[in-house]
Amino acid sequence: MGVRKTLRLRVAWFGIILLARSVLSAAVADEASPVPRFASLSRDQVFMREGPTYRHRILWVYHRKGLPVEILGQFDVWRRIRDRDGTTGWVHSSMISEIRTVLVTAQSPARIFRGNDPHSEILALAQPGVIAKLETCTAVLCEIDAQGTEGWIEKKNIWGVKADEVFR
């Protein structure tokens, strides 16, 4: 074998090793993520399947990027999720974003407050079904960004965060 061919083989093997390392470290990091946890759908079309392979039957097709979901389990590159209605199934991890969002679930428009106090000025009203980016939560309220309107909403009016969850 010539020197050039040997060098090309070494470079190719080195590339394969680096790729395998990055895939493995990403998989290990993701497998270490706690479950259950909330995330969101990363695409406008997401297929929920009855099992963790492409061979499994499609149960549901979501058409709402950003919709919050709860990750219940993980298997390889598949995530077992639950939506707001309680429907569970498997989704490929490429269809999941770790960006936290919430869904307004109040029966009537929910108040968005200027401050993190339910007695502060009402900034806007969020219609049921609105999806907002989740920023932070106190014991009672969560800070959200709903299509450019930033404010605080009561936890009882949203889905995508646990009742006892507090974070900055």
- State the pLDDT at residue 8: 53
**How confident is the prediction along the chain (168 residues), in pLDDT tens digits per residue?**
565 555 454 544 444 443 344 334 344 445 568 999 999 999 999 999 999 999 999 999 999 999 999 999 999 999 999 999 999 999 999 999 999 999 999 999 999 999 999 999 999 999 999 999 999 999 999 999 999 999 999 999 999 999 999 999
Cα–chain center distance at 121: 30
Count CB neighbours of 41 within 10 A: 25
Report the predicted TM-score, pTM, of the whole model to 2 decimal places. 0.81
Sign of the C-alpha dihedral computed for residues 60, 64, 68 and 71 taken in this order = positive
Of all helices (H) and strands (E), which one includes residue 37? strand 37-41
Q: Are 143 and 116 in contact (CB under 8 A)?
A: yes
